[in-house]
Amino acid sequence: MSTLPLPLSFFRLSGTSTRDLPFASSLKRSSVSFPLIPFRRLELFRSTSGMTISRSFSFVFCSLKAKATAELVQDTESGIPAVGRSGGGRATDVEHSRTFLEARSEQELLYGIRKEVEAKRLPPNIAAGMKQLYQNYRNAIFQSGDPSAAETVMSNMAVAFDRILLDVEDPFVFEPYHKALREPFDYHMFVQNYIRPLIDFRNSYIGNLSFFYEIEEKLKQGHNVVLISNHQTEADPAIIALLLEKTNPRISENMIYVAGDRVITDPLCKPFSMGRNLICVYSKRHMYDVPEHVEMKRRANTRSLKEMALLLRDGSKIVWIAPSGGRDRPDPLTEEWYPDSFDSSSVDNMRRLIGRSGAAGHIYPLALLCYDIMPPPPKVEKEIGEKRIMSFHGAGLSVAPKICPSEIAVAGKMSEEAKDTYAQALYKSVTEQYDVLKCAIHGKQGFAASSIGISLSQPWN
């Protein structure tokens, strides 16, 4: 990913700094009622010119799942027309409704949804999803006990609703390789600020921080790195980035995620996806949902693999992929969560891609535990528009030493048996790391859960 201008936070409370909203020193479940919240002034930044744009703004509740359009959030009095999408989408001028940015209370924000439906700018099914998202996000943020919870919810939800509506008005279309949109609106910071208050950092851990430093050094040397990981929530990219943003910003901001089609087609997800670097593919779990679309999906996946091959040729790329083909699910009998098994052909595709890139390449096993924050539906659903439940909870991220395919290949060749063995070796490492994170977070063992090969830390403290 090329160097970007120094990003400004996409919003700033008047009279405050752009640093992260602080958490209360004592985090506990709150039994707060939710009165109407008066507006405060909010400043939105436009990174293309450095110009600060002021808005009288209410604080509204928000939820995480979309990445929308590269459009300018501007002052009503400025008289500047809204700028339409570019990139994968169509470049058009759009008359963008300012309903959600002009809301001054929770009541006005929710009324704005009905107003947009009546104006036929917002489909009823999307409106229903937005209301549900608002309620679930609000409840999750108030669980933190943070005294600024009401303001956090109001500011984040107003911007999220605005971005969702903007994409409905002028839908963004993702290319096979999507580069995070950082200006004129910074979607990356929008997502970071949206997900951050859902993470209980006091009960979150990173495993083997030294290996993340090792990975950064390899990226600086022009090497490629692939992280073979389990997958738990739609918020995984944001959670990974937030846990690493203070110690490993190069990884946090430049990671390329192999993403399924649902997060780039669901109206409530798209604005959140626009803030990430993505290789867009069709998941094997949904390949045959519509039989007549199978061939089209296969061709699209081939294009995406070609895009990835071109990216890797340049070196210094880090790619995250979940070879399970989807999110982890709880065992139907025990209700225990565990990393889903890896597809050996997906692992081997990545092995071959980095092996043929011309640059040095390394494959590391990565474990992620964060399902409590935004668990997927119990079963895989065909329809777009799943119900999204959220909660305030700790999260864990761990990486183990790289595993070289050459250690398993026989006479320099990877037989089918060797491919399976290699995928299993990566999976075994991921599950071992996952167990340590689980003991630390769910088992309340904290740092004591560290093992000989997995050292836990909290570098944000």
**Contact assessment for residue 72 and residue 80, using Cβ atoms and an 8 Å cutoff:** yes
Report the run of H or E that residue 366 belongs to, with start and end. Answer: strand 361-369
Concatenating the DSSP letter of every residue in 160-226 gives HHHHHHHHHHS-----SEE----SSS-HHHHHHHHHGGGB-GGG-EEE-HHHHHHHHHHHHTT-EEE
**Contact assessment for residue 331 and residue 202, using Cβ atoms and an 8 Å cutoff:** no
Candidates 162, 170, 200, 236; catalytic one? 170
Work out the number of other CB atoms within 10 angstroms of the CB of residue 460.
16
170 belongs to the catalytic site: yes
**Contact assessment for residue 339 and residue 367, using Cβ atoms and an 8 Å cutoff:** yes
**Contact assessment for residue 430 and residue 367, using Cβ atoms and an 8 Å cutoff:** yes
Tallying the residues shown for the chain, one arrives at 461
Assign 45 to helix, strand or coil: strand
**Contact assessment for residue 226 and residue 361, using Cβ atoms and an 8 Å cutoff:** yes
d(CA 260, CA 282): 5
Report the run of H or E that residue 57 belongs to, with start and end. Answer: strand 52-57
**Contact assessment for residue 259 and residue 280, using Cβ atoms and an 8 Å cutoff:** yes
d(CA 238, CA 227): 16
d(CA 271, CA 190): 9
**Contact assessment for residue 351 and residue 415, using Cβ atoms and an 8 Å cutoff:** no
Q: How far is CA 17 from CA 195, 282, 384, in A?
A: 19, 41, 38
Catalytic residues, which ones?
A: 170
